Structure 1
């Protein structure tokens, strides 16, 4: 039961992440999923922003490091177009 709840929460976080754009900086306006790994690594070293954006960037970093970048792009195409 707890596993189901956690999976549902993760699915919601990923769904939200897929539809977000970078609100500031060098990559302002880009879809978060299109941010280069090097940029996410920079945040990992310097510190992710506070709040929801920071949580999304941390999740994105982990997903990309685990080799799921293509899966995110495929989901994005299906959801956003």
Structure 2
């Protein structure tokens, strides 16, 4: 994966919001950890949204949320 592509993915994650449910409108990277872990255990949805949730899970797991938050526009 190219550096530009990685940056674009992180930018998209930083600015993506939850489209439905209790946390509708909240940035994906700001979702509570227990909620993202629940999705992990249940299975992430298919498609781009699921990929973004999975990435948010990995970033939170490694304590890198602040890095992503700094990319918000």
Q: Above 0.5 in TM-score?
A: yes
Q: CA deviation at 1:9?
A: 2.1
Question: Between Structure 1 and Structure 2, whose CA radius of gyration is higher?
Answer: 1
Q: CA deviation at 1:35?
A: 0.5
Gaps of 5+ in 1: none
User: Partner of 1:25 in structure 2?
Assistant: 21
Deviates more, 1:49-58 or 1:64-73: 64-73
Number of positions where the alignment pairs a residue of Structure 1 with one of Structure 2 = 73
* Equivalent-residue separation in structure 2 for 1:38 and 1:72 (angstroms): 19
TM-score normalised by L of structure 2 = 0.89
Q: CA deviation at 1:8?
A: 2.5
CA RMSD in angstroms comes to 1.3
Contact 2:18 2:25 in 1 (8 A): yes
1:50 aligns with 2:37: no
TM-score normalised by L of structure 1 = 0.81
Deviates more, 1:9-18 or 1:34-43: 9-18
* Equivalent-residue separation in structure 2 for 1:61 and 1:30 (angstroms): 15
